[in-house]
A and B are shown apart, each in its own frame.
Chain A
Amino acid sequence: MEKNVTITKKFEFSASHRYWREDWSEEKNNKEFGLCVSPYGHGHNYELYVTVGGQVDAQTGMIINLTDLKKLVNKILINFDHKFLNLDTPYFRDKIPTTENIALVLFEQIKLGLSSLSGRLKLSGIRLYERFDLFAEVWEEI
């Protein structure tokens, strides 16, 4: 039977965000988003686990060279690290930078980056910790 192997690398970035909908009353924003409505944003040290699947290269014994993965992911994270996600990135103009939405944006970007690196690589999933007790996960069926 064919065995699946994946490799996971951890990354870190720090950013601030704010949950707020202009089309909602202050009361509704407060009720739905609680502390996250704080007017100037608040921040977290995010931890991102990136899991890549694919065939193990017969010569190198690796799915992906981790130096390549590091370069690829860091190039994406540089736009998130030490930024206010609502204003300093273009992704959250029309959606709330919830853990779920940030993870979805990162997933699509890393997936795109991997496919341009090699057609044989598959982003099997990512896990984004916003705090030690809270994470969002994105994956696609293999």
Chain B
Amino acid sequence: MPHIGLGRIYWFSAAHRLHSPSLSDAENFMIYDKCNNINGHGHDYKLEVTVSGELHPETGMIMSLAELDRVVNDLLKTMDYKHLNKETEFFKNHIATGEIIIQFLWQELNKRLPRNLLYHLKLWETNNNYFETGRKNR
């Protein structure tokens, strides 16, 4: 039987500053360069969320799209138009790199979505760089 996935794309805009408290200011600047800018900077993030599972025999859907939107938007609301380091609990003590943001999103969405449905995440920080995580093995 072929596998089936449903993907949906979302956007949020946020500011961050990449700065590790365990490194000196000079080291931070050397590693993070312009992303270390003291007052932060921002991106329009684009997030692709893919769920995968059996089709519901009556609706022909993996899950209700309205429900998926509600779960994802509830989470993104906590980050949209925020300075991640200063205004979100998680990133007060985690570095807001794309890698860590996508791991945070995976952990939160996996907790909030029906069991085992979350399959893949792709997070664009700009048009030219993106991060991926999930169960995809292709």
A residues sitting closer than 8 Å to B (CB atoms) are 21, 24, 32-34, 95-101, 103-104, 107-108, 124-125, 127, 132-142
Contact = CB atoms under 8 A, between A and B. Distances in A.
Contact of A100 (B10, B61, B66, B138): B61
Contacts, number: 68
Interface of B: 2-10, 50, 52, 55, 58-62, 64-66, 137-138
8 contacts: A98-B55, A108-B2, A133-B10, A134-B6, A138-B4, A139-B138, A140-B3, A142-B138
Contact of A139 (B2, B7, B55, B60): B2
A136 to B, nearest CB: 5
Contact residues of A: prevailing secondary structure: mixed
Contacts of A141: 3, 137
B6 A99 contact: yes
Contacts of A104: 2, 4, 55
B7 A100 contact: no
Given A98-B60, A134-B6, A137-B6, 10 more contacts: A24-B58, A98-B59, A98-B61, A104-B2, A104-B55, A136-B4, A136-B6, A138-B4, A138-B5, A139-B138
A134 B4 contact: no
